[in-house]
């Protein structure tokens, strides 16, 4: 008859080692997941801005009517003084025929053929004037506008050039070109061929939304394009 040997269990040290390993693996997984989620949220915000740009482009080129006004351009307005929001607007002010109305189809002829309302910049609405706000977006999860840049032979950015305070990108019929303006009012012809908006999160990282005068809109994780 074989002798009976007592079964050996886990020692306290072995249990502690296993528990420590589980805690380390769990902590690494949670940290990696949180970092991944933050990256995804920042990327999604950049794509939301790009989609808003596309909406402005589609509305402007499609001549979407707003409050009975037709043929208005549509644009997106950014203001470094309000870095947690941006505005999608219809460029309805001033109306067709207004003096100095020259940013669109018929330069210097406010009542000429094809003349449309607007001055290619955002005019805050009031009781008697101003553009139509389509949507006033608030950035979530602590994400903010880090800077915006405009290109004219070289890049100039608001985080290095403090005179850059506002950016307007407007699309209007009959051509698909984007009109890029800084600090308002619009200057004809606009010297800027590209614009780039950088957003950041409290945990760091940047995403860039670029648009050029040909209407091409893109999102990048590395730099303005």
Structural domains present in the chain = 12-220 (3.55.40.10)
pLDDT at site 177 = 84
142-153 per-position pLDDT tens digit: 999 999 999 999
How far apart are the C-alpha atoms of 54 and 57, rounded to whole Å?
5
Q: How far is CA 134 from the centre of its chain?
A: 15
Task: Please return the burial class of 144, using the count of CB atoms within 10 Å of its CB with bins 0-12, 13-18 and 19+.
Answer: middle
- What's the CA gap between 185 and 66, in Å, rounded? 23
Got the DSSP string for 105-143? SSTT-TTSTT--S--SS-----SS--PEEEEEEE--TT-
pLDDT value of position 36: 45
Encoding tokens for residue 92?
């309805």
- The rounded mean pLDDT for the chain is 84
At residue 55, the pLDDT reads 96
Here the tokens at position 91 are: 């460029």
pLDDT tens track for 175-185 = 778 999 999 88
Q: Which pLDDT score is estimated for 113?
A: 61
Q: Respond yes or no on whether the N-terminal peptide bond of residue 185 is cis (omega within 30° of 0).
A: yes
As a residue count, the chain comes to 225
CA dihedral for 218, 223, 224, 225, sign (positive or negative): negative
Residues of the chain with pLDDT under 50: 32-34, 36, 107
Predicted confidence at residue 42, as pLDDT, reads 93
Secondary structure class of 19 (helix, strand, coil):
helix
Name the DSSP letter for residue 173.
S
Nearest to 171 by CA among 206, 215, 203: 215
């Amino acid at each position: 008859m074989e002798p009976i040997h007592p079964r050996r269990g886990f020692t306290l040290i072995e249990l502690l080692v296993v528990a420590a390993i589980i805690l380390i693996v769990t902590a690494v997984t949670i940290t990696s997941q949180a970092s991944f989620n933050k990256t995804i949220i920042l990327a999604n915000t950049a794509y939301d801005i790009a989609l808003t740009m596309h909406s402005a482009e589609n509305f402007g080129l499609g001549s979407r009517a707003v409050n009975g006004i037709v043929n208005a351009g549509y644009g997106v307005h950014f203001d470094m003084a309000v870095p947690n929001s941006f505005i999608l607007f219809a460029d309805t002010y001033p109306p067709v025929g207004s003096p100095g109305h020259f940013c669109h189809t018929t330069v210097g002829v406010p009542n000429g053929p094809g003349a449309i309302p607007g001055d290619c910049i955002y005019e805050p609405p009031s009781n008697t004037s101003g553009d139509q706000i389509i949507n006033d977006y608030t950035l979530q999860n602590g994400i903010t506008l880090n800077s915006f840049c405009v290109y004219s032979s070289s890049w100039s950015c608001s985080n290095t050039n403090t005179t850059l305070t506002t950016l307007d990108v407007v699309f209007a019929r009959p051509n698909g070109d984007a009109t890029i303006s800084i600090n308002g009012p619009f200057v004809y012809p606009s010297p800027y061929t590209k614009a780039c908006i950088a957003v950041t999160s409290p945990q760091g990282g940047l995403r860039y939304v670029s648009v050029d005068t040909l209407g091409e809109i893109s999102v990048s994780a590395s730099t303005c394009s």
